Structure 1
């Protein structure tokens, strides 16, 4: 059974899942709590993204499983992407319980970040605390004009725990990350785009989802193995000095030569036709 078929068979209480044209839409669905990341939401997101980690591997007959070529992560209800961690639940946890909860959430963000296919965060409202951290694990963040971003944990006597102290400075630089984390300030979509957190701002949810699907369609027209390799190289090189990063890039580039996707892509270019990538 393909990854897409496995996901279509999942029964989730806090997520809405849709597979259409090889694009999976994952919608966090707790509108009564502004889609806050309860332990149940984290567990169901982990189940979905753990299945997605199998993309590109050989199926039962030896063919690569590229049944899903991209993921859109969003929230339901129109007011929030994910408003944050579930503070009501978290405040009564013991230190060991919160360690487990946070460890699960952090591991989820790594699974999202390291998927072989692109993940677009379609932020349609509040992306605060854990919601901002969830979005930053994605490859691209698109936002509607009513979106708002922030890491307000200091107002609760806490600090970001799902990757905000790490990824926010990778997105916006150390100075802006310090300012946002230490003040807890909430910023609108336009400012988030200006400082480099958001790639695109769209007028409404319809345009937002359309833009996310269009970007994934562009990626899906490329070699899936090259996309996966590019994602790995970008992640591996992001914190390295230039010389070390260039060495990572060199090896990843050289490793593409002789692969079936590279052979097909270069042949299609020379022959002036659309490539038919085997995904190998």
Structure 2
């Protein structure tokens, strides 16, 4: 790795094709700060090319209780669009086509914590989870990419309701409405994440990259447009597998 985290608010580990981000401020339920986001952004930019899966988890009793309240007071004093764009980059790299990102979520996932989980491709959720888009309670809006992913997962009406009410969504409901890929007992969370990681790694990397790109684009395409990009992707795969693309 050519990046060294400076905030001390997270641990970053790379083990072959798997990278792990562990939010590590358990004493404040892994509340987030711009310093953490800077480290996340740097880590994302510095990942080795052979990393295929990124796991995001939280230490202690919660995934993340959201924005650190002391930071929130400072930010309310003024923040620029350029600064917010940098904060967004801290989460955006988790969506890149070359990676599959998995959020291992337990306890609270509130505000920025909810949006960090949403930035990941998959959410493996413990039974004690409470999701909450709490920005409205501060007079703010979700601004870390969460609104688009939330609409994609649960639809317009449900996404709007969750954002404007700030209510808490338990694990069972999260599974029912599409926020969670799987719900497991808290003691089984690590094993469930490991099983999903192994299943992803068992697949052909180039095929998975193409599939993720196809799925990500599908919502904005007509059937004819999607069929066209499917054809192009399949030709690339066949050429690669047969050696004709060399």
How high is the TM-score relative to the length of structure 2? 0.90
Cα pair 1:238 1:245 within 8 Å, conserved: no
Q: Structure 1 pair 147/159, CA: closer, same or farther in 2 (3 Å)?
A: same
Does residue 1:210 correspond to 2:205, yes or no? no
Aligned to 2:56: 73
C-alpha distance in structure 1 between counterparts of 2:223 and 2:78, whole Å: 39
Equivalent of residue 29 in structure 1, options 24, 36, 44 = 24
Aligned to 1:238: 219
Aligned to 1:277: none
Cα pair 1:237 1:248 within 8 Å, conserved: no
Q: Structure 1 pair 244/95, CA: closer, same or farther in 2 (3 Å)?
A: farther
Cα pair 2:38 2:90 within 8 Å, conserved: no
C-alpha distance in structure 1 between counterparts of 2:220 and 2:68, whole Å: 31
Give SS of 2:109's match: strand
> Root-mean-square deviation (CA), in Å?
2.1
- The residue correspondences of 1:135-150 to structure 2 (distance < 5 A) are 135-150=117-132
Unpaired segments ≥5 residues, structure 2:
none
Deviation at 1:197, TM superposition (A): 0.6
- The residue correspondences of 1:88-99 to structure 2 (distance < 5 A) are 88-93=70-75, 97-99=79-81
C-alpha distance in structure 2 between counterparts of 1:148 and 1:100, whole Å: 31
Cα pair 2:102 2:122 within 8 Å, conserved: yes
C-alpha distance in structure 2 between counterparts of 1:84 and 1:100, whole Å: 21
Aligned to 2:14: 19
How high is the TM-score relative to the length of structure 1? 0.80
Cα pair 1:39 1:101 within 8 Å, conserved: no
Does residue 1:179 correspond to 2:161, yes or no? yes
Aligned to 1:59: none
Unpaired segments ≥5 residues, structure 1:
1-5, 56-65, 265-279
Specify the structure having the higher radius of gyration (Cα): 1
C-alpha distance in structure 1 between counterparts of 2:38 and 2:104, whole Å: 21
Give SS of 2:74's match: coil
Deviation at 1:21, TM superposition (A): 5.5
Equivalent of residue 112 in structure 2, options 103, 122, 130 = 130
Equivalent of residue 252 in structure 1, options 230, 233, 246 = 233
Aligned to 1:269: none
Aligned to 2:175: 193
Deviation track 1:97-126 (CA, whole Å, cap 9, x = no partner) reads 353442122223221111512110000111
